[in-house]
């Protein structure tokens, strides 16, 4: 026989041995499959395999159950001579009724009955019994007075003796229900592995005479190994037979059981033995009852009988609602899975759906990142857009012309401010910084490079004004006159340009005449000087500015006073350059009612003589101390101009003059000022004097009032009397209508930063 044939024979031999081993294993295992005809219930007790009723219905002889007829036609199962109550495959236990050992007093002989004092807990199970008393679920219990109960295992391999003593005092009322701690009842644990068929129980009464026993009124004592959970001590057990009668001398006990004598590892290796764990979804566990052997149980997620093929079935855990109320349960083979709503995460430790912190943080961070990205992109786009808008505003407002001129005229003291600079200077246009409000804008006090300034936010401008704004700013910036507020600069990168003037801190001429200083009765000569300074400023605008400038809103509220009470003409919001053609007619009349030129209101053409008319109204305020227009009283008395012209026509000037003026000055001076005012208020503009003629006339009239050296000293004294030296932060105000104080409030103070103007 050659080598190849030998190899073939060797392979065939190995295959044959393998098949033989499989057949042996299958045949050995097949002996454990119960017959389908086996009875699986006796009375109300289920008898699952490996237990069985009848031949070849159980795993081995120790698991045979007999079903015996009972009372009322109900059958009862018995195992090892004990009535079987139930079988647990999961816990590998059975419950049986275990005999109680009594020790009773005999009334007929008045002696102790020793015959019932000892019980052998034996059975008809052979020495290889699979049952052991459960040391976890049972306790040795003794009931009685002065009674010693003992129990022991008479197996020579594991001899054991233990017990407990139950004591009673003279007063049985000391015992309490549900307390088995030595007073009338005692309990003690039993050792692991105590055999079911080799336990002896003894009850020993320690009282010597029947008289002493009678004194307790107690007849019997008891000892039993029973299920701890089924026992609940009552004091009536001591002096009655209630404990015995409840179970007819028997008490439930729990027995552990196991299969065979080998461990799981040994049985699995032994091909000739019968492995009892037949179900494919079962597991083998070594016995923990103190004896050799093993038990079977279904794998996790399965339930049923692990001792028969396919006996372990998948458990639908979702029927028991193991998941949180807001979760969803999905059954799987041998297990289940809980899922939670979006945004929540299942927590196995406490079986709850908690907020998914990781998901929330991730989504939040992603959202924040997206928002930051969008915000940054939006900010960049807005900055670019704003920059373009500012550049467009700068171009429209003549900024390029300004810069070109500033380069060519190096001595030009004019600054083009950025919007950010003016925001910072005025603390973001804080309301507390407002020093004036009117129809042409709002004036704020600001600080630029440690220098106080007045920042004016103008109202909307028409297209013509926007086109000419740069040129007009150049002209205004070149005006340098002591009686005109200096324009320091402007801001062109906003929709409506902002103007920056020098800051004049000491109030207005309106306040000096009508406001808080009225009670001082300012000398007429001082007011006349201030009026002349106003005329000088207007004369400069009309005659020396190139091109000439028409103020357009001359009034006492726009005449500021510096530290020396020198007049400063301010607020050029309504100003225009002297018209050079017919196209420069205004489409909307601007100014303040009471000061407006009637001819201007009719023709909508602003001229130099319009400023003259307004100055005439100022002269009336100096002469009369009254406001130009009253909103109360008789209608014919509301206009100061009408009252004055009527008084002049009737040659009754004293009706409108202030009383203190007639006391201070000569009638010739007063009459001269009145005639000058009348000429300024002429309805026809061409008949009105020019500002040059007005300044010359005022200069002449002032010389008539007093000698020059006396005049100078008087004015210095008057300056000290004024409140011009007080700290005040008022700036010129503007409006189209003025509401003046009522007579009863004429002597009250007025807030320098407030305005009596209704826009």
**Domain map (residue ranges) of the chain:** 93-257, 386-503, 505-726+735-759
Distance CA 335, CA 246 (A): 44
Whole-prediction pTM: 0.47
Where b means 16+ CB within 10 Å and e means fewer, 659-698 reads eebeeebeeebbebbbebbbbbbbeebeebbebebbbebb
The pair phi, psi for residue 537, each rounded to 5°, is: -65, -45
d(CA 192, CA 187): 16
Of 351-355, 431-435, 551-555, 689-693, highest mean pLDDT: 689-693
Peptide bond connecting 50 to the previous residue in cis, omega within 30 degrees of 0 = yes
User: Does 3.90.320.10 match the CATH number of domain 386-503?
Assistant: no
Calculate the average pLDDT of the chain. Answer: 77
Question: In this predicted structure, what is the pLDDT of residue 217?
Answer: 52
* CATH number of 505-726+735-759, picked from 1.10.510.10, 2.40.40.20, 3.40.50.620, 3.30.413.10: 1.10.510.10
Q: Express each pLDDT in 268-317 by its tens digit.
A: 887 555 788 988 889 999 988 877 889 999 998 899 999 999 899 998 88
Q: State mean pLDDT over 195-201.
A: 66
Name which of 272, 274, 271, 315 is nearest 294 in CA terms.
274
Give the integer Cα–Cα distance in Å for 733 and 441. Answer: 9
Question: In this prediction, what percent of the chain has a pLDDT beyond 70?
Answer: 72
User: Which pLDDT value is given to residue 730?
Assistant: 39
Is 553 an annotated catalytic residue?
Answer: yes
Tell me the β-bridge partners of 88: 93
The predicted pLDDT at position 205 comes to: 64
Contact 63, 50 (CB under 8 A): yes
pLDDT on residue 212: 46
Instruction: Say if CB 128 and CB 198 are below 8 A apart.
Output: no
- Containing 452, the helix (H) or strand (E) segment is strand 451-458
Residue 562 has pLDDT above 70, yes or no: yes
| Strand order through the sheet with 138-143 | 111-112, 101-106, 220-227, 138-143, 185-189
**Spatial distance between the Cα atoms of 659 and 492, rounded to a whole number of angstroms:** 50
Kindly state the DSSP code that residue 31 receives in the 8-state scheme: T
Handedness of CA 516, 521, 525, 531 (dihedral sign): positive
Are 530 and 538 contacting, i.e. CB atoms less than 8 angstroms apart?
A: no
Cα 592 to Cα 741: distance, rounded to the nearest angstrom: 16
DSSP category for residue 520: G
Question: What pLDDT is recorded for position 525?
Answer: 86
Q: What is the pLDDT of residues 647-704, one digit of tens each?
A: 999 888 888 888 888 887 888 899 999 999 999 999 999 999 999 999 999 999 988 7
Higher pLDDT, 597 or 397: 597
- Cα angle 100, 106, 111 (rounded to 5 degrees) comes to 115
Tokens 């004024």 -> residue: 722
Which residue, among 752, 732, 724, has the nearest Cα to 562 in the 3D structure? 724
The active-site residue, picked from 553, 571, 611, 682, is 553
410: which 2 tokens?
Answer: 């190096």
pLDDT of residue 694: 94
């Amino acid at each position: 026989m050659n080598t190849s044939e030998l190899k073939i024979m060797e392979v065939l031999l190995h295959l044959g041995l393998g098949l033989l081993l499989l057949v042996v294993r299958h045949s050995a295992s097949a002996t454990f499959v119960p017959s389908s005809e086996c009875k699986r219930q006796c009375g109300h007790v289920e008898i699952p395999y490996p237990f069985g009723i009848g031949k070849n219905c159980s795993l081995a002889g120790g698991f045979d159950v007999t079903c015996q007829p009972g009372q009322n036609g109900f059958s009862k199962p018995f195992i090892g001579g004990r009535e079987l109550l139930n079988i647990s495959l999961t816990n590998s236990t059975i419950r049986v009724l275990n005999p109680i050992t009594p020790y009773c007093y005999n009334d007929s002989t008045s002696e102790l009955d020793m015959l019932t004092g000892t019980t052998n807990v034996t059975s008809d199970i052979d020495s290889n019994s699979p049952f052991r008393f459960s040391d976890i679920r049972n306790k040795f219990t003794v009931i009685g007075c002065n009674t010693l109960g003992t129990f022991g295992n008479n197996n020579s391999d594991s001899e054991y003796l233990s017990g407990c003593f139950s004591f009673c005092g003279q007063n049985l009322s000391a015992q309490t229900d549900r307390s088995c701690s030595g007073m009338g009842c005692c309990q003690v644990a039993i050792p692991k592995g105590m055999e079911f068929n080799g336990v002896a129980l003894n009850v020993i009464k320690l009282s010597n005479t029947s008289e002493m026993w009678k004194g307790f009124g107690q007849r019997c004592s008891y000892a039993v190994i029973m299920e701890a959970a089924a026992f609940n001590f009552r004091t009536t057990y001591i002096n009655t037979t209630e404990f015995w009668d409840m179970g007819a001398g028997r008490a439930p006990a729990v027995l552990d059981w196991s299969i065979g004598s080998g461990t799981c590892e040994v049985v699995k290796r032994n091909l000739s033995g019968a492995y009892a764990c037949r179900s494919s979804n079962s597991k083998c566990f070594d016995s923990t009852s103190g004896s050799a052997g093993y038990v079977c149980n279904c794998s996790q997620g399965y339930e049923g009988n692990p001792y028969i093929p396919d006996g372990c079935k998948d458990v639908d855990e979702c029927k028991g609602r193991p998941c949180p109320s807001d979760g969803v349960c999905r059954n799987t083979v041998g297990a289940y899975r809980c899922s939670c709503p979006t945004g929540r995460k299942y927590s196995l430790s406490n079986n709850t759906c908690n907020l998914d912190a990781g998901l929330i943080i991730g989504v939040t961070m992603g959202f924040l990142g997206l928002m930051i990205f969008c915000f940054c992109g939006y900010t960049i786009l807005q900055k670019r857009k704003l920059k373009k808008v500012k550049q467009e505003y700068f171009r429209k407002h003549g900024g390029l012309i300004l810069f070109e001129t500033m380069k060519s005229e190096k001595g030009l003291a004019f600054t083009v401010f950025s919007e950010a600079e003016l925001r910072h200077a005025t603390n973001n246009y804080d309301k507390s910084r407002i020093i004036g409000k009117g129809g042409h804008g709002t004036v704020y006090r600001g600080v630029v490079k440690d220098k106080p300034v007045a920042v004016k936010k103008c109202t909307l401008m028409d297209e013509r004004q926007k086109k000419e704004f740069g040129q007009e700013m150049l002209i205004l910036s070149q005006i340098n006159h002591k009686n005109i507020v200096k324009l320091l600069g402007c801001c062109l990168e906003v929709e409506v340009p902002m103007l920056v003037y020098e800051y004049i801190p000491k109030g207005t001429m309106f306040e000096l005449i009508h406001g808080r200083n009225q009670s001082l009765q300012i000398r007429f000569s001082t007011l006349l000087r201030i009026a002349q300074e106003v005329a000088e400023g207007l004369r400069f605008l009309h005659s020396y500015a190139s091109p000439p400038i028409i103020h357009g809103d001359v009034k006492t509220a726009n005449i500021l006073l510096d530290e020396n009470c020198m007049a400063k003409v301010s607020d050029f919001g309504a100003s225009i350059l002297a018209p050079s053609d017919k196209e420069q007619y205004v489409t909307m009349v601007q100014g303040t009612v009471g000061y407006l030129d009637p001819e201007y209101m009719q023709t909508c053409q602003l001229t130099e003589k319009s400023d003259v008319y307004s100055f005439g109204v100022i002269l009336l305020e100096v002469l009369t101390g009254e406001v130009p227009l009253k909103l109360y009283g008789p209608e014919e008395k509301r206009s100061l101009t009408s009252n004055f012209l009527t008084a002049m026509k009737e040659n009754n000037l004293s009706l409108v003059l202030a009383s203190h003026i007639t006391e201070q000055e000569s009638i010739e001076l007063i009459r001269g000022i009145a005639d000058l005012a009348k000429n300024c208020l002429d309805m026809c503009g061409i008949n009105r004097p020019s500002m040059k003629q007005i300044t010359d006339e005022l200069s002449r009239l002032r010389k008539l009032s007093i000698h020059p050296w006396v005049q100078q000293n008087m004015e210095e004294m008057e300056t000290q009397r004024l409140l011009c030296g007080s700290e005040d932060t008022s700036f010129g105000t503007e409006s189209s209508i003025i509401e003046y104080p009522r007579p009863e409030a004429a002597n009250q103070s007025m807030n320098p930063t407030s305005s009596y103007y209704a826009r």
